[in-house]
């Protein structure tokens, strides 16, 4: 195997890597593949459209030389004129990091935006992301579905759950629920099921060579064969939870047909109520990509076409192209993206629908009880089960009276949320969470019913955005909630002059009369409005004997740069 250091070592390895053999077996030009797939990706990102600072942020990106990704329809995405992670050290690098850390942009590889662009989820829908962490696709969907649609972002691994929660808070998203299940065994929600499913499944990453150079050394053809069953099982669970008429997108960052077309073929065999449907090309207008394959050949471990496919490691006939004509007709409706097509990474995406005529009961297949008639004939009756016992991590629904106290103390105008409490924090979410999940009974597989007033059997860790925190009976809005609450804050907020804000950013603790004049100042947490030429700002502060700021390091630093107090590093 080649040396891993330097461009020469990478190029030499690409010449002999099994990954190049895979590309050639798919009909790609060897030289064009190596030339592009060994180069670093350009920096790409999504602009946070619901942030109050969207206009100012766009100006900063354009000043960096950003150009729009024209095929990213329905949201603003940009490509920057430098490689991923290689922003110039003239202030651009720090500013870009601050824009991401404060939720004004989200750095994301362009190709990984495709599943949500293709699925195109809508407000008022309930979407399940089966393998959500670190959250780029879940947050992308949530932004497009706001304010009324909800994303149930599922992740089995505890450490990655924390990444999900962090990204939800960074982007001030109130329409994300976070659950923790194995993707093959995600719990039910009440009937009729989910409106949309994202199955961006674990894969070998064979299309990620531009950001993960180790793939040139680590990838082998048997890798996809070892992932196949997991991918089928996760996608199958999504199909079982999808209501009739609902859409599911299946995707990987792999170009191996065993992880892509072969999985889709097996999924249709296992879940015949699902159909592969045509992707609306207008949703990615201008993108260059290719039809899915209906023919491919197994490779040996050297990346060469095997003259005895049944002898390759972990062989299974399901890894071969299908024989069924309906599957051969369906697979070209899926789409493949190669690195040299649009200067991106590689990707695979398929769009499927639960046929309504396949399930006249009008509910997800997981609810179809094959033994229901036999039970009825025996005199069996469905039981309402007891709700699981609560613990300190349990999320509880809050009362209207509790919400009214927060609305008054935090100077909010009329809000249209469902309210959820855990400990000293209060979260807000769309009403859809209450109406379609919390307030409905959920049948189990035996036909008994989990009661309303609980999320069970979903293992819910977080509901919505923890927007408020209580101390000594006083509620304050947390900094991460300000972009969400911006348009709902009272006009009665105290106005702070730019000079006073600059003094606070310079670590001064101001006498209250500097800001409040002769008015009696409030005590404790407060929100202040600053009318700055670059845009109106909402500032978190604290008023005791002196007034100080309550901003995290990134927000404070970005404000200091914006107001000209400090230069970028």
User: CA torsion sign, 392 to 398 to 402 to 408?
Assistant: positive
> If you average pLDDT over residues 562-566, what whole number do you get?
86
pLDDT band at 403 (very low <50, low <70, confident <90, very high): very high
pLDDT exceeds cutoff 70 at 568: no
Q: In what order do the strands lie in the sheet with 425-429?
A: 396-397, 418-422, 425-429, 465-471, 474-477
**In whole angstroms, what is the distance from residue 275 CA to residue 197 CA?**
14
| Per-residue model confidence (pLDDT) at position 489 | 93
Collapse the DSSP code of 332 into the 3-class scheme (helix H, G, I; strand E, B; otherwise coil) and give the result.
helix
Reported as a pLDDT band with limits 50, 70 and 90, residue 567 is low
pLDDT of residue 371 exceeding 70:
no
Q: Name the strand (E) or helix (H) holding 287.
A: none
Structure tokens at 107: 């750095």
Does residue 362 surpass a pLDDT of 50?
A: yes
Position 374 confidence tier, pLDDT thresholds 50, 70, 90: low
Q: How far apart are CA 364 and CA 362, in angstroms?
A: 7
**What is the band of 439 on the pLDDT scale with cuts at 50, 70, 90?**
very high
User: Ramachandran region of residue 418, left (φ > 0), alpha (ψ -120 to 50) or beta?
Assistant: beta
* Confidence band for 414, pLDDT divided at 50, 70 and 90: confident
- 406-428 core/surface letters (b: 16 or more CB in 10 A; e: else): bbebbbbeeeebbbbbbeeebbb
Rounded-to-integer distance, Cα 264 and Cα 231, Å: 10
Which residues contact residue 177 at a Cβ distance below 8 angstroms, ignoring those fewer than 6 apart?
150, 151, 152, 153, 429, 433, 460, 462, 463, 464
Mean per-residue pLDDT for 212-233?
A: 96
Confidence of residue 156 (pLDDT cuts 50, 70, 90): very high
pLDDT value, residue 372:
65
Q: What is the pLDDT of residue 375?
A: 66
The span from the CA of 86 to the CA of 81, in Å, is 10
For 557, phi then psi, to 5°, come to -65, -40
- The span from the CA of 383 to the CA of 381, in Å, is 6
Q: What is the pLDDT of residue 349?
A: 98
* 3 band by pLDDT with thresholds 50, 70 and 90: low
Q: Which helix (H) or strand (E) segment is 538 a member of?
A: strand 535-543
Q: What is the mean pLDDT of residues 464-482?
A: 94
CA–CA dist 155, 163 (Å, integer): 10
Q: Please name the residues in contact with 75: beta carbons below 8 A apart, sequence gap of 6 or more.
A: 46, 47, 49, 140, 143, 144
- Which H or E element spans position 466? strand 465-471
Q: Which residues are CB-neighbours of 400 under 8 A, at least 6 positions away?
A: none
Indicate whether 105 pLDDT > 80: yes
pLDDT tops 50 at residue 290? yes
Condensed to tens digits (0 to 9), the pLDDT of residues 137-146 reads 999 999 999 9
pLDDT for the residue 436: 97
- Confidence at 151, pLDDT banded by 50, 70, 90: very high
Helix runs in 320-464, H state only: 325-330, 339-342, 372-377, 400-409, 431-433
More confident residue, 380 or 530: 530
Cross-strand bridge partners of residue 299: 305
Check residue 1 and give its pLDDT: 46
Distances (CA, A) of 509 to 5, 516, 544, 546, 566: 52, 14, 10, 6, 19
The share of the chain scoring above pLDDT 70, in percent, equals 97
CA distances from 40 to 10, 302, 323, 344, 364 (A): 12, 25, 39, 9, 43
Rg of the chain, C-alpha, whole Å: 26
Instruction: Give 329: exposed, middle or buried? Use CB within 10 Å, 0-12, 13-18, 19+.
Output: exposed
Average pLDDT over residues 415-421: 94
Summarize pLDDT for 109-141 with one digit per residue, the tens.
Answer: 999 999 999 999 999 999 999 999 999 999 999
* Whole-structure pTM value: 0.95
* Dihedral angle sign, alpha carbons of residues 371, 376, 380, 382: positive
A 10 A CB-CB count for 130 gives: 26
Token match 């909010």: residue? 412
Q: What is the bridge-based pairing of β-strands 126-129 and 67-68?
A: unpaired
- Residue 376 pLDDT greater than 70, yes or no: no
Per-residue pLDDT band at 56 (split at 50, 70, 90): very high
Averaged pLDDT of the chain? 94
Residue bearing tokens 């201008």: 286
Tens of pLDDT, residues 505-536: 999 999 999 999 989 999 999 999 999 999 99
What are the pLDDT digits (tens) for 293-334? 999 999 999 999 988 888 899 999 999 999 999 999 999 999
């Amino acid at each position: 195997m080649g040396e891993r250091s330097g461009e020469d070592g990478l190029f030499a390895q690409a010449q002999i890597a099994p990954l190049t053999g895979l590309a050639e077996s798919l009909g790609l030009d060897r030289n064009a593949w190596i030339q592009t797939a060994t180069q670093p990706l350009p920096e790409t990102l999504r602009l946070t459209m619901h942030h109050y600072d969207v206009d100012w942020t766009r100006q900063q990106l354009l000043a960096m030389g950003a150009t729009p990704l024209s095929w990213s329809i329905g949201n603003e995405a940009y490509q920057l004129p430098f490689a991923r992670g290689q922003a110039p050290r003239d202030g651009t690098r720090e500013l870009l990091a601050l824009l991401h850390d404060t939720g004004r942009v989200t750095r994301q590889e362009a190709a990984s935006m495709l599943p949500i662009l293709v699925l195109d989820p809508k407000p008022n829908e309930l979407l399940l992301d089966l393998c959500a962490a670190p959250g780029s696709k879940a947050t992308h969907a949530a932004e497009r579905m706001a304010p009324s649609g909800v994303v149930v972002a599922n992740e089995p691994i505890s450490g990655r759950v924390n990444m999900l929660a962090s990204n939800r808070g960074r982007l001030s998203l109130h329409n994300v629920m976070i659950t923790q299940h194995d993707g093959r065994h995600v719990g039910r929600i009440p009937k009729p099921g989910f409106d949309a499913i994202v199955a961006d499944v674990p894969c070998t990453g064979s299309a990620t060579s531009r950001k993960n150079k180790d793939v040139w050394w680590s990838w082998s053809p048997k890798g996809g064969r070892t992932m196949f069953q997991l991918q089928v099982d996760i996608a199958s669970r999504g199909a079982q939870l999808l209501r009739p008429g609902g859409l599911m997108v299946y995707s990987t960052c792999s170009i191996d047909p065993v992880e892509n077309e072969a999985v889709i073929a097996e999924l249709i065999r296992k879940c015949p109520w699902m159909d592969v449907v045509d992707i609306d090309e207008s949703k990615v207008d201008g993108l260059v990509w290719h039809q899915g394959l209906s023919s491919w050949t197994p490779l040996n471990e050297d990346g060469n076409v095997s003259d005895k496919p049944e002898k390759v490691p972990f062989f299974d006939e399901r890894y071969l192209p299908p024989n069924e004509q309906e599957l051969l007709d369906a697979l070209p409706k899926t789409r493949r993206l190669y690195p040299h097509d649009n200067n991106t990474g590689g990707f695979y995406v398929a769009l499927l629908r639960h046929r309504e005529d396949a399930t006249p009961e009008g509910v997800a297949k997981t609810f179809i009880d094959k033994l229901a008639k036999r039970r009825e004939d025996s005199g069996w009756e469905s039981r309402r089960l007891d709700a699981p016992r609560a613990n300190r991590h349990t999320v509880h629904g809050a009362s209207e009276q509790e919400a009214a106290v927060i609305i008054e103390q935090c100077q909010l105008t009329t809000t249209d949320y469902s309210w959820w409490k855990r400990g000293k924090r209060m979260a807000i979410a769309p009403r859809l969470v209450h109406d379609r999940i919390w307030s409905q009974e959920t049948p189990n597989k035996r036909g008994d019913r989990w009661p309303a007033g609980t999320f069970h059997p979903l293992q819910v860790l977080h509901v919505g955005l923890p927007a408020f925190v209580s101390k000594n009976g006083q509620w304050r809005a947390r900094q991460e909630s300000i972009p969400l609450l911006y348009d709902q804050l009272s006009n009665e907020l105290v106005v702070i002059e730019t000079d006073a804000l600059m003094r606070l950013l310079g670590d001064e603790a101001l006498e209250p009369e500097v800001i409040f004049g002769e008015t009696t100042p409030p005590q404790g947490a407060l929100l202040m409005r600053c009318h700055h030429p670059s845009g109106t700002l909402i500032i978190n502060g604290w008023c005791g004997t002196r007034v100080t700021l309550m901003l995290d390091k990134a927000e404070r630093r970005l404000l200091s740069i914006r107001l000209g107090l400090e230069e970028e590093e």
